[in-house]
Structure 1
Amino acid sequence: MISTHLLGALGPTMLAVGNVASGTVMSLFAQSGTMVQAVLLVLIIFSISSWGIIFYKIYQLRQAHAASQSFATLFRGTKDFATLAGANMNAPSSPLARIFATGYQEFSQWRQTATQATPTEHRASANLENLELTLRRAVREQMTWLERTLTFLATTASTTPFIGLFGTVWGIMNAFQGLSTAQSATIQAVAPGIAEALVTTAVGLLAAIPAVMAYNHFIRQVQVLTAEMDGFSAELLSRVRWSLQDGPQSAPGGASHAVR
Structure 2
Amino acid sequence: MEAELAAHGSADLSLFALFWAADWVVKAVMLGLLAASIWTWAIIIEKSVMYGRAQRAMNKFEKNFWSGQSLEDLYQRLSDEDPRGMGAVFVAAMKEWKRSHEQGASSYIGVQQRLDKVLDITIGRESDVLESRLGFLATVGSAAPFVGLFGTVWGIMNSFQSIAASKSTNLAVVAPGIAEALFATAIGLLAAIPAVIAYNKLSSDANKLIGRLEGFADEFSSILTRQLESREQQ
Q: What TM-score, normalized by structure 2, do the two folds share?
A: 0.88
In structure 2, what is the Cα distance between the partners aligned to 1:235 and 1:228? Answer: 11
In the TM superposition, what is the alpha-carbon distance from 1:90 to its structure 2 partner?
7.6
Letter matched to residue 42 of structure 1: G
Residue of structure 1 equivalent to 2:209? 225
**Pair 1:147 & 2:137 matched:** no
Structure 1 equivalent of residue 59 of structure 2: 69
Q: Which moves more between the two structures, 238-247 or 127-136?
A: 238-247
Give the corresponding residue for 2:157.
173
Residues 1:202 and 2:186 aligned together: yes
Question: Which amino acid letter does the alignment assign opposite residue 81 of structure 1?
Answer: L
Amino acid in structure 2 at the alignment position of 1:204: G
Query: How far 1:169 moved relative to its partner?
Result: 0.5
- Residues 52-91 of structure 1: pairs in structure 2 closer than 5 A: 52-89=42-79
Structure 1 unmatched ranges of 5 or more: 1-22, 251-260
- What per-residue deviation string (whole Å, max 9, x for no partner) do you get for residues 152-188 of structure 1? 1111111111110110010000000000011421111
Cα distance in 1 for partners of 2:78, 2:178 equals: 60
Separation of aligned partners in 2, 1:224 and 1:205: 29
- The equivalences for 1:130-145 within 5 A come to 130-145=114-129
- Give the conservation status (yes or no) of the 8 Å contact 1:171–1:197: yes
Equivalent position SS for 1:246: helix
CA contact (8 A) 2:100 2:111 kept: yes
Where structure 2 has 5 or more consecutive residues not aligned to the other structure, the ranges are 1-12
**Identity across aligned pairs (percent)?**
35
CA contact 1:71–1:94 (8 Å) conserved in 2: no
Q: Distance between the aligned counterparts of 2:220 and 2:168, measured in 1?
A: 79
Higher relative contact order (CA 8 A, sep 6+): 2
**Structure 2: distance between partners of 1:195 and 1:29:** 10
Determine the structure 2 residue equivalent to 1:243. 227
Which residue does the alignment assign to 2:195? 211
Q: Is 2:108–2:229's contact at 8 Å kept on the other side of the alignment?
A: no
SS in 1 for 2:230: coil
1:144 shift after superposition: 0.9
TM-fit CA distance, 1:44? 0.6
Cα-to-partner distance string for 1:8-33 (whole Å, 9 max, x where unaligned) = xxxxxxxxxxxxxxx94323102212
Which moved further from structure 2: 240-249 or 126-135?
A: 240-249
The separation in 1 between residues aligned to 2:152 and 2:83, in whole angstroms, is 44
SS of 1:78 mapped into structure 2: coil
Distance apart, 1:244 and its partner CA: 2.9
Q: CA 1:242/1:93 → structure 2, altered by over 3 Å: closer, same or farther?
A: closer
CA shift digits 1:124-172 (9 cap, x unpaired): 1221121112112211111111101111111111111111011001000
SS at match of 1:247: helix
What is the deviation of 1:89?
A: 5.0
Partner of 2:24: 34
CA shift at 1:106, angstroms?
0.9
- Contact 1:161–1:201 (CA under 8 A) maintained in structure 2: yes
Tell me, in whole angstroms, the C-alpha distance in 1 between the residues paired with 2:54 and 2:46: 12
- 1:3-59 per-position Cα deviation (integer Å, ceiling 9, x unaligned): xxxxxxxxxxxxxxxxxxxx9432310221211111111011101111111111011
Alignment root-mean-square deviation, CA: 2.0
Count of residues paired in the alignment = 222
